[in-house]
A and B are shown apart, each in its own frame.
Chain A
Amino acid sequence: MADKSIRSIVKYFLNHEKVKQAPLPVRERMLINFFSRNLEMVKQTFQGPDFFPRTDPDIALRSILEDVRSAVLKELGTFLDPFLESRIDFSLLKHFHSTASDKPRLFREKLVSLMKVLLTHHDVRYRFSGIIPLLESGTLRDYVKVIFEQKGYIYQHLLNEENLLLDQEEYTHYLKLLLLLKNAAWIKVTSPLGLKFNLADIRHDPGLIVIFFRMIEKMLLRVIPDLDSSIIWTGLMANVRQEYTRPQDVTSRLLYIFSLSHQGTDRPKGKSAAAQTPDKSRFYICMKNFGFFGFDVNILRELYNIASYYDW
């Protein structure tokens, strides 16, 4: 089978007019959707003279998806490597009774390996693309600064419920670390009965969510043994509705709001006098949808007030 043909078909779909505005992992998702929903038709077409008549259509399909995956991983790698190298300070781990803070370089290497493992799952890649704008921008730093200065609802709950020991700077890095870890909840695991599932399949069952998260926790600890369990749980809990979180999961609820409200959105181009500021718009819309998504409305209200006050 000609690699050239595979590459050209991959290039064609990834640069297609219908999806070219979307991030690469989202485009990958759309392609997977298309192939899985039209499997028979795609296989038949691939057997035609214009595609791969001498190749098994399953192999052709697998090669295409493998090529797409390589492209996505390459792109995510160009963001992740420098990000982990210079944008997160792991000294915060000293507050979690972790030995990792003594050897930040080693911890970073283990985290890179973990991310590589996680990103082999297309659902994780797909979710991860949504949080890149949040990690790249200074949004988290700006909000954390105000939350710590105002000492309002969020700060009080972080202090009293979560017993937070981090200072403002450390907390920003903590949120970044959690954002990287939270998508581990979207890997597919195999149940003892042989069923493959991830969070999307069990997200309405709090009991199953806990069991599922324990499985993920074990898996993560296998790659990074000195990662504190509380960090893993805070990260994983940032994927579920407020009702399923524990009272101490204030950071999880905060991250859940941030990751969904800022999902895949960049700052809008061009200013308009009649347009509301981007963050104020996002948090207002989230307040309208708090029941649908399961946001903590008190946290949301404080974020909305901050965005209103600072015109963010």
Chain B
Amino acid sequence: MNEKNKNRIILAVTVIAVIQTFLDDYSQYVHSPVFWRNLFLFTNLFIDLIFSLEFILKTASAIKNKQGKSYFLSPAAGINFLASLALLFLNSGPSVLLLLTGKLTLAAGWLMRFTHILKLSRILKLIEVFPLSRARMTRKHVRIILHSTALVLLLFFIFTSFLRVQEIKGLITQRSRHYERTLYSIENMHMTMDIPLQTLLFKILSNDNYVLKLTYADFLVFSSLPPGKTAQTVFYNDSFILARAEYKLSLSLMDINQMEANHHLQYFMIMLILVLVILLNYSRYFDRNVSQVLAIVTRGIREKEDMSMVRTEILTGQDEMADLARTYNEHFLPAKQRQGSAEELKKRNVFTKEDLLNFIRKK
């Protein structure tokens, strides 16, 4: 497979990965059925495996070509690493493993909650694979801008994500304490008012949206869980169990998960818009206003017969490029035409004695 086809495949996988990342977060946000959320978990793993393979092949190729050091120090390698091995070992891999082994605990999910933000690196991968202008200067310049801005954003999102995990931990603790207090109050009411405990538990908690299921001494008091499978993805457990004395409360985390998915979607959109605006809009602007102008001027200087002017009317602003283009059009090209006139060319002496002697050397 040639390089062009390889790049096309990686571009297609990257676009799919970006769409998949959005759908993954969106499915959490709208609380779609468990099947879909688990399906996204497996597709995450699949995408990370493909990117990991690509990263390993690229690294091996760089080492083989003795460019290992420069590759490892490049932002491209960093992005490729985050979008492949880092995600595979810190997010999708453990998630699927925990899901398959059935060890879905809230504690196990903290790491995945935190590393979920690394999925934004898939958007950054677009920078590496998106077919930009053929002009090297545009490619170089746009990538430097994107690497800098996107890296700042990613670091900021990682930091806020870390803070959010702490915040969620606080919210869950708060929710646990609230129901611990409620249970304590119900017990008090039962003792002082002589109302059966189960009646009190049912009357007070069955209408509470956060309490999905309640058992007392292994006896089911009520359950509002939907029929069928309720086990959730590792990252977003739909509920957690509060076990106190004889009580076992299954408390909903849906609102917290939706809030978090909302944040992820916002981060996703900010990053995607930034990358796309720079890739599609700024790169075009830069290509037309800088790279193409330089290419036309260079060609005009280098090639005797090229008399193409720069279209100054499309250059925006009074900057150095516009000055260069105007000087080239108004002064250089007319002077070049005068010098290139038949009379001037006729006088030109291009061969030297050295050329004559080179004939013998070549013979």
Contacts and interface: CB of A to CB of B under 8 A. Distances in A.
A264 B305 contact: yes
Contacts of A266: 305
Interface string B350-363: 11010111011011
Summarize A's interface: helix, strand, loop or mixed.
Answer: helix
Interface in A108-131: 126-127, 130
B360 A19 contact: no
A280 B333 CA distance: 13
A104 B299 CA distance: 45
Contact of B333 (A19, A130, A281, A292): A281
B16 to A, nearest CB: 31
Nearest to A272: B292
A286 B333 CA distance: 10
Interface string B330-347: 100110011001110111
Given A45-B356, A50-B360, A289-B338, A13 B351 contact: yes
A274 interface: yes
B288 to A, nearest CB: 5
B61 interface: no
Contacts of B343: 200
Interface stretch (A31-39, A74-82, A85-93, A250-258): A31-39
Given A45-B356, A281-B309, A292 B351 contact: no
A299 interface: no
Given A266-B305, A278-B308, A285 B342 contact: no
Contact of A288 (B334, B345, B356, B362): B334
B351 A31 contact: yes
B349 interface: yes
B349 A282 contact: no
A260 B341 contact: yes
Contacts of B289: 274
A37 B359 CA distance: 19
Contacts of A274: 288-289, 292-293, 296, 310-311, 314-315
B104 interface: no
Contacts, number: 111
Nearest to B349: A33
Contacts of B363: 8, 50
A34 B296 contact: no
A141 interface: no
B206 interface: no
A65 interface: no
A263 B342 contact: yes
A9 B359 contact: yes
B101 to A, nearest CB: 57
A174 interface: no
Contacts of B348: 30, 33
Given A30-B351, A42-B356, A293-B341, A284 B305 contact: no
Nearest to B135: A272
Nearest to A33: B349
Contacts of B288: 273-274
Interface string B237-276: 0000000000000000000000000000000000000000
B295 interface: yes
B208 interface: no
Contacts of A263: 341-342
A99 interface: no
A97 interface: no
B353 A16 contact: no
B306 interface: yes
A12 B359 contact: yes
A6 B97 CA distance: 81
B297 to A, nearest CB: 10
Contact of B296 (A126, A275, A289): A275
A293 B306 CA distance: 19
Interface string A15-31: 01011010000100111
Closest 4 CB pairs of A and B: A274-B292, A34-B351, A276-B309, A288-B334
10 contacts: A29-B345, A30-B348, A33-B349, A34-B355, A38-B353, A127-B342, A264-B305, A272-B292, A273-B314, A289-B338
Given A12-B359, A37-B349, A289-B337, 19 more contacts: A13-B351, A33-B348, A41-B353, A45-B353, A45-B357, A50-B363, A200-B346, A266-B305, A268-B299, A272-B296, A273-B288, A273-B311, A274-B311, A275-B308, A275-B309, A285-B334, A288-B330, A289-B334, A293-B341
